[in-house]
């Protein structure tokens, strides 16, 4: 009886806690804003007022958001908009795709997503469902006259925040699904994986990431990515 009362008490405290304060959600956001729609809401309002026919939006997770930290001039010197949110998975990105991409009326969108889904940040996800979310973003963009660039997931042998999942093979399989979709639907496929692979399914250490990270590029890693995406966005240059 005491055990039952204890469990009910803990449950009640948990419910009260949910109602009284924001709760951390893996992948960003809160119970009231799971997809973190509020993060860029004010910046989006400013951009909507400034039409730029050359605008390119980069949609992604911490790998995209960290790009601005390591190499800010890539976004400052180009008509590029960073809409990466740390920890996010593809269902979260799909929810915020309209306000963070479509409403900005860009020429193109660069989608780099999927690694946090493999890590299970917002729960278990099969590869086909991850891919379908990315396809949905692609189809939304195309329906609004936006060119689509779907990126390969970067190599990853392990997740420091969730070790032991052995993601390398899943990354390869997901990239194959994405590449085939792009080929079948005349969509630009951006291959970061090949040039950044250490030959064993991980990012090159120390060239492209640190030994205690293994997932996020360092400055040199982002430089490699810049060379790849610029050639895709501007093939005639």
Q: What is the pLDDT of residues 80-112, one digit of tens each?
A: 999 999 999 999 999 999 999 999 999 999 999
pLDDT class for 31, splitting at 50, 70, 90? confident
Residue 17: Cβ within 10 Å count: 10
CA dist 192 and 114 (Å) reads 14
In a domain, 113, yes or no: yes
pLDDT tens-digit profile of 186-195? Answer: 999 999 999 9
In a domain, 82, yes or no: yes
In a domain, 19, yes or no: no
pLDDT tens-digit profile of 48-82? Answer: 999 999 999 999 999 999 999 999 999 999 999 99
Indicate the number of domains in the chain.
1
pLDDT tens-digit profile of 123-163? Answer: 999 999 999 999 999 999 999 999 999 999 999 999 888 88
In a domain, 135, yes or no: yes
pLDDT at 86: 94
In a domain, 30, yes or no: no
In a domain, 190, yes or no: yes
Percent of the chain topping pLDDT 90: 78
In a domain, 90, yes or no: yes
- Check: pTM over 0.85? Answer yes or no: yes
pLDDT at 5: 40
pLDDT > 70? residue 12: no
In a domain, 108, yes or no: yes
Range of the domain at 105: 36-233
C-alpha gyration radius of the chain? 19
Phi first, then psi, for residue 198 (nearest 5°) are -80, 5
Here the CATH number for the domain that contains residue 166 is 3.40.50.1110
Q: In Å, what is the CA distance from 116 to each residue of 103, 126, 146, 166, 215? A: 25, 12, 25, 13, 10
116 and 86 Cβ atoms separated by less than 8 Å: no
Closest CA to 231 of 178, 195, 182: 195
């Amino acid at each position: 009886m005491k055990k039952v009362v204890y469990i009910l008490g803990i449950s009640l405290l948990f419910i009260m806690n949910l109602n009284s304060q924001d709760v951390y959600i893996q992948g960003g956001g809160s119970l009231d804003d799971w997809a973190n729609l509020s993060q860029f809401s004010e910046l989006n309002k400013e951009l909507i007022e400034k039409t730029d026919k050359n605008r390119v939006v980069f949609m992604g997770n911490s790998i995209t958001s960290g790009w601005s930290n390591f190499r800010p001039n890539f976004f400052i010197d180009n008509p590029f908009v960073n809409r990466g949110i740390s920890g996010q998975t593809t269902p979260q990105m799909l929810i915020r795709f309209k306000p963070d991409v479509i409403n900005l009326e860009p020429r193109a969108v660069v989608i780099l997503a999927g690694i946090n889904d493999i890590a299970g940040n917002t729960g278990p996800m099969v590869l086909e469902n991850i891919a379908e979310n990315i396809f949905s973003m692609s189809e939304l963009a195309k329906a609004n006259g936006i060119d689509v660039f779907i990126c390969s997931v970067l190599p990853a042998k392990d997740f420091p925040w969730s070790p032991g999942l052995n993601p390398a093979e899943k990354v390869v399989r997901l990239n194959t699904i994405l590449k085939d979709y792009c080929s079948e639907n005349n969509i630009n496929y951006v291959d970061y994986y090949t040039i950044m692979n250490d030959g064993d399914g991980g990012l090159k250490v120390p060239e492209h990431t640190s030994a205690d990270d293994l997932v996020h590029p360092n400055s040199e890693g982002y430089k490699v990515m810049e060379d790849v995406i610029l050639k895709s966005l501007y093939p005639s240059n």
